[in-house]
Amino acid sequence: MKKNVLIIGAGGVAQVVAHKCAQHNDILGNIAIASRNIEKCEHIIASVLEKGSMKVQGSLNAYALNALDIEATKALIVETESQLVINVGSAFINMSVLSACIDTGAAYLDTAIHEDPAKICETPPWYANYEWKRRDLCKEKGVTAILGVGFDPGVVNAYAALADREYFDSIDSIDIIDINAGSHGRYFATNFDPEINFREFTGQVWSWQNNEWTSNKMFEVKRTDDLPVVGVQTSYMTGHDEVHSLSANLKVPNVRFWMGFGEHYINVFTVLNNLGLLSEQPVVTAEGLEVVPLKVVKAVLPDPSSLAPDYTGKTCIGDLVKGKKDGQDKEVFIYNVADHKVAYDEVGSQGISYTAGVPAVAAAILVAKGDWDVSTMVNVEELPPQPFLQLLNEMGLPTRIRDEQGDRDLTFN
Amino acid sequence: MKKNVLIIGAGGVAQVVAHKCAQHNDILGNIAIASRNIEKCEHIIASVLEKGSMKVQGSLNAYALNALDIEATKALIVETESQLVINVGSAFINMSVLSACIDTGAAYLDTAIHEDPAKICETPPWYANYEWKRRDLCKEKGVTAILGVGFDPGVVNAYAALADREYFDSIDSIDIIDINAGSHGRYFATNFDPEINFREFTGQVWSWQNNEWTSNKMFEVKRTDDLPVVGVQTSYMTGHDEVHSLSANLKVPNVRFWMGFGEHYINVFTVLNNLGLLSEQPVVTAEGLEVVPLKVVKAVLPDPSSLAPDYTGKTCIGDLVKGKKDGQDKEVFIYNVADHKVAYDEVGSQGISYTAGVPAVAAAILVAKGDWDVSTMVNVEELPPQPFLQLLNEMGLPTRIRDEQGDRDLTFN
């Protein structure tokens, strides 16, 4: 049994993680929340206490931490006696937090891939550029590191593993489709950090097709699907973390990621991108001030966490898997539908944060209990999916399947 | 006779002014060009020499000058023995250059109204907030100051004066229509300083209607006209300098300004404006850097002067005047058509800069010769329009008229 959780980060996803850890603090033990901005941690703690999320009496504390400082992070892990670290901070801190975990033996979990602030859309597979370089070290030291265990990446990797293990003899294609049919009522906003959000779209779109890496531009390739609950939706091929691990870990010739965008989003994105305002490279103003345009765009956009109170509608995220079973063509869509308002009522965050945060806590519980405490570095598809998906059924993210037998809940008992 | 010109500014309009001064240096004498950036002045001088624009042998020199420094500006006026100052620098320096002219007795000419960097769309009439406060002082000291003598404001004010003096007994409305039907071939660019350009559109649109100030939003009111050469064009009611002097100086109940915009321009503008990226008020990035969004937008957009080599097509700018003559309804459209390519071939600038710069030099010649050396501060409509328009006929901006007698050139001999 591993015990005591250190949550790094204090954004919308961290808020969900804190609430869900509190709801399971009989298993997870003490909860520490650390961020550069301790006030944001304290704000989350107030929300957890206000909603009465703590299952049993326990410790819930805020800490100021620069997570790029490995020694400081190690010291906090030791001070809080945390055996579980859930990193839901900026994508730029993964490698330093991972180092702190390797040095202290704490289990490491995150929900998104590491990024270098000065680079976008690096050479695939992305995990090989950073995280996987520490895989041998994790194994050697017996440190459990579960990469990308949010919803996508994360739950969709478990869906892929489930399809691979239970539904198919061979898989030809996995198309991960992410639709947010919700509405925040603002002129324009991103659902998570605009800087990270836009960085996904300004470079090449990498997909795994016919067993090789294929490059496209954003909004170059689209598809339209009639999906459960959210209906007919157009989505665009997008570069995304899970394509880079699924292509390596499963024998599947085609792995693609598709994200839904409305025409308004695409118009705003296209204008900003064509003007150069989404660039991560600094420009110099006429007055001589050096500034990164993307950081200014971030500064003028709404804080994603501010969207939650007014967010309505649903998300639908799932894996459309095609292949062969018993010599026959087969197609399944394994998915979840989440509701922004329901998420807000439960944990004070909108659905995008909810779907990213809940799986990380489910994974932490599985590590705490031993089911997933694998003493090495893994991506989610390398782990048994059933206990994870069953726990998510109970924690607010139920799995459903649509196939030749109809559209129904999946349970794993 | 006044002699020797100091040109302040080194952008696209200054380049036109320098070429045109050179073409008339037998009258205007020595030419000095001053700007914060002396290299830009030297670049203009190289262009003047390369095109052989100097009519007679003469002096043509570059100076580094911060025109907000009144004492430095006075010193340069004295050093260069300039009796004529053409201010085509940023709209923020008008008042300090005017001060230097009042103190030294040099004649002052500009092409756009003074602006405070921290304010947009101030209370009408705009001239009363800055320039007109010095009118009595100019008169007292016998200093000639000709305000807004570009094309619009400037030539269109002369068109209004001509209509008022020659074509109507009473005028009901003056609608100034500015259409740029040219193409620069870029995704998006502004034709002059983006900062000044956007500042015109982000606040209230002031118009003079039924003898009172009326406020609208940008793109709220539009009209469509079938115009000479450029054909059917949609234009939008826009706040503009000349509305603020014509409404005070002529007895006309309706004075409006209309600027043509394509759908693409409006889309880009709307996205940037709605996001807050056109704001002149600073924001703070997540890293704590204070930055004015509009200055970042300016930094990523093409330098307007870089558009000139590829610019094709024509502009059509004129006054649609309606009123009574001999008891009958009458309507005239007095206008000019300019060609971007022709302007570039002659002076190395595009048509927007050309139409703004040539009139300032024509006015300087009229001041030098005495016709317009009025020893006080005036707007263009207060001066006899004929010698100005005749000079423009000869300098590349011919006046045409369309009325019940047809569409024809106007000459003034």
pLDDT tens readout for residues B132-144: 999 999 999 999 9
Q: Do A170 and A247 sit in the same domain of this protein?
A: yes
Share of chain A above pLDDT 70, in %: 100
Q: Which of B187, B268, B300 sits opposite A293 (nearest CB)?
A: B300
Q: Do B32 and B138 sit in the same domain of this protein?
A: yes
Q: Do B379 and B234 sit in the same domain of this protein?
A: no
Q: What value does the CA radius of gyration of chain B take, rounded to a whole number of Å?
A: 20
- For residue B206, the enclosing domain spans 155-347+400-409
HEC-encoded secondary structure of B58-113: CCEEEEECCCCCHHHHHHHHHHCCCCEEEECCCCCCHHHHHHHHHHHCCEEEECCC
* Number of domains chain A is built from: 2
| C-alpha span between A391 and A383 (Å, rounded) | 14
Mean pLDDT, range A289-307, rounded to an integer: 92
Q: Do B317 and B169 sit in the same domain of this protein?
A: yes
Q: Which of B195, B274, B287 sits opposite A188 (nearest CB)?
A: B274
ipTM of the complex: 0.73
Q: Do B313 and B369 sit in the same domain of this protein?
A: no
Q: Which of A96-105, A196-205, B155-164, B349-358 has the lowest mean pLDDT?
A: A196-205
Minimal Cα distance from B293: which residue of A?
A: A296
- A 188-207 residues inside an 8 A Cβ radius of B: 188, 195
Q: Which residues, 6+ apart, have CB-to-CB distance to A211 below 8 Å?
A: A253
Instruction: Answer whether B31's CB lies under 8 Å from B18's CB.
Output: yes
Higher pLDDT, A262 or B159: B159
Q: Is B267 on the interface with A (CB under 8 A)?
A: yes
What pLDDT, on the 0 to 100 scale, is given for residue B198? Answer: 82
CATH number, residue B36? 3.40.50.720
Q: Do A318 and A172 sit in the same domain of this protein?
A: yes
What pLDDT, on the 0 to 100 scale, is given for residue B199? Answer: 75
Q: Which of A9-18, A184-193, A281-290, A332-341 has the lowest mean pLDDT?
A: A184-193
Q: How far is A38 from chain B (nearest CA, A)?
A: 15
Residue whose tokens read 């806590």: A361
CATH number, residue B248? 3.30.360.10
Are A267 and B272 a contacting pair at CB < 8 A? no
Low-confidence ranges of chain B (pLDDT < 50): none
The answer to whether residue A406 sits within a structural domain is no
Q: Do A225 and A300 sit in the same domain of this protein?
A: yes
Residue whose tokens read 């939008």: B236
The answer to whether residue A405 sits within a structural domain is no
The model's pLDDT over A355-402, given as tens digits with 9 standing for 90+, comes to: 999 999 999 999 999 999 999 999 999 999 999 999 999 999 999 999
Q: How far is A11 from chain B (nearest CA, A)?
A: 13
What pLDDT, on the 0 to 100 scale, is given for residue A192? Answer: 78
Q: Is B277 on the interface with A (CB under 8 A)?
A: yes
The model's pLDDT over A117-155, given as tens digits with 9 standing for 90+, comes to: 877 768 899 999 999 999 999 999 999 999 999 999 999
CA distances A38 to A32, A34, A66, A193, B254, Å, are: 11, 7, 10, 18, 59
Q: Do A50 and A79 sit in the same domain of this protein?
A: yes
The model's pLDDT over B354-389, given as tens digits with 9 standing for 90+, comes to: 999 999 999 999 999 999 999 999 999 999 999 999
Q: Do A196 and A340 sit in the same domain of this protein?
A: yes
In chain A, which residues have their Cβ closer than 8 Å to the Cβ of B289?
289, 291, 295
Q: Is B279 on the interface with A (CB under 8 A)?
A: yes
The answer to whether residue A222 sits within a structural domain is yes
The answer to whether residue A236 sits within a structural domain is yes
Q: Which residues, 6+ apart, have CB-to-CB distance to B201 below 8 Å?
A: B218, B238, B239, B269, B273, B278
B23: its two tokens:
């073409």
Are A277 and B296 a contacting pair at CB < 8 A? yes
Q: Is B263 on the interface with A (CB under 8 A)?
A: no
Q: Do B165 and B182 sit in the same domain of this protein?
A: yes
What pLDDT, on the 0 to 100 scale, is given for residue B1? Answer: 84
Question: What single-letter DSSP state applies at residue B203?
Answer: S
pTM, to two decimals: 0.75
What pLDDT, on the 0 to 100 scale, is given for residue A249? Answer: 97
Query: In whole numbers, what is the pLDDT of chain A averaged over residues?
Result: 95
Higher pLDDT, B191 or A187: A187
| C-alpha span between B236 and B221 (Å, rounded) | 6
Q: Do A189 and A297 sit in the same domain of this protein?
A: yes
